[in-house]
Structure 1
């Protein structure tokens, strides 16, 4: 694990996460290289989409209270931790990077909360923050989210205008201006929508 510091989430300070706090970019942490067999440490940052989802849940806990929740492509686990904080019946998370799932569980524990390894039955709410960032990932994510929607889940996506977001499949629930590290996003804030899949 990278050196991280337990830090309040900028846009959801009710929650603290183990994050990289020094001003470094994503690929600075990998020696400036990308290896397809080892994902970069997305989990070391609180990305805008996840922060927006967390804020939305914290402001309206009824969205997840008493429900089974799955956080897809969890990263740091910010949305999963927020769901647990808001009284979800059970929260599980998935990510291609096993280190992200470990980070999400560690972050939940740091907040006195816990995530489950897997849900009993289909999720009732599916969360996905910042998942439409590449032309390779987007179609796979669309298929995953459509399947969840077909099975009756409410699907919520946090997206700050990533290039491959399929807006036609979603309706805007709310929008925030989310603080982000300039070294990651080349700006200090991103207008970020929380979107519900139709």
Structure 2
């Protein structure tokens, strides 16, 4: 029998897999609210730190940015093969270095002038690699955003791994809001449903028109991205071949592309 990791289960059976997560009991819901309160600030809760350190592995190879160390979920980690009902929190999207994020981080490291002295928002930050790359490349201000507060805790640990001071991590849903004037918005691997793609398109267009915000998108060619009308407003600025391990873990995608969104 072939054992599938949680990533493959989501890719193959996304709707059914997510339905399992909604069936968690009240105890988990209460714990979730507690974690949200304790990790949304700048101080990391000791219990959350212990959980992340015990259930992730420090990785600095097998991806496009060996300069950046990250705590990720790997086949050697406890929860890699567990079904969703056994997880203490939501599905750990933050614990995977997705190809779109890899491409964005690589691009910022190779082209520091894109972010130098700029105010940058990393939307759907996940493990925080793109935000970390922006800091390393000289951004004046970096804010990460991910609606999963556990991702915020992981980002803080990843900052420590790379000898960086933690930057703010916002855990509210920013799509549809207009919070600040960003010089640059970066987002990777966000187009995984038609509804989300539509919302992102309208929100990013508003920011670009109202504030002159530059938008960079990283994606390996997911269906909801390549088939969306946003394609008419995209200009390819870089493409990177994926490492063999990333290729195998993402249904055979061979490359990832960084796009400049120009509505």
**How would you bin the TM-score normalised by the shorter chain?**
0.7 to 0.9
- Listed as ranges, the gaps of 5+ residues in structure 2 are 1-50, 171-178
Of 221, 226, 234, the residue aligned with 1:170 is 234
- Listed as ranges, the gaps of 5+ residues in structure 1 are none
Distance 1:114 1:106 in 2: 10
Residue 112 of structure 1 pairs with residue 163 of structure 2: yes
Larger deviation: 6-15 or 60-69? 6-15
| Residue 186 (structure 1) aligns with | 251
Q: After TM superposition, list the pairs within 5 Å mapping 1:1-198 onto structure 2.
A: 1-2=51-52, 3-9=55-61, 10-22=63-75, 28-29=81-82, 31-32=83-84, 39-117=90-168, 121-150=180-209, 151-165=211-225, 166-179=230-243, 180-181=245-246, 184-187=249-252, 190-198=254-262
Superposed CA deviations along residues 42-73 of structure 1, whole A, max 9, x for unmatched, are: 11010000000011011111100111110000
Superposed CA deviations along residues 117-150 of structure 1, whole A, max 9, x for unmatched, are: 2799411111100011112321222233223322
Deviation at 1:23, TM superposition (A): 6.5
Structure with a larger share of its residues in helix: 2
Structure with a larger share of its residues in strand: 1
Contact 2:116 2:138 in 1 (8 A): yes
Deviation at 1:80, TM superposition (A): 0.5
Distance 1:49 1:161 in 2: 9
Give TM-score, length-normalised by structure 1. Answer: 0.86
What number of residue pairs does the alignment pair up? Answer: 193
SS in structure 1 opposite 2:105? Answer: helix
Deviation at 1:193, TM superposition (A): 0.8
Distance 2:126 2:93 in 1: 6
Distance 2:136 2:256 in 1: 22
Deviation at 1:183, TM superposition (A): 6.1
Contact 2:69 2:158 in 1 (8 A): yes
The structure, 1 or 2, with the larger RCO (C-alpha pairs under 8 Å, 6+ apart) is 1
Distance 1:58 1:158 in 2: 14
Structure with bigger gyration radius: 2
Superposed CA deviations along residues 129-183 of structure 1, whole A, max 9, x for unmatched, are: 0011112321222233223322211100001001111311211111111225466
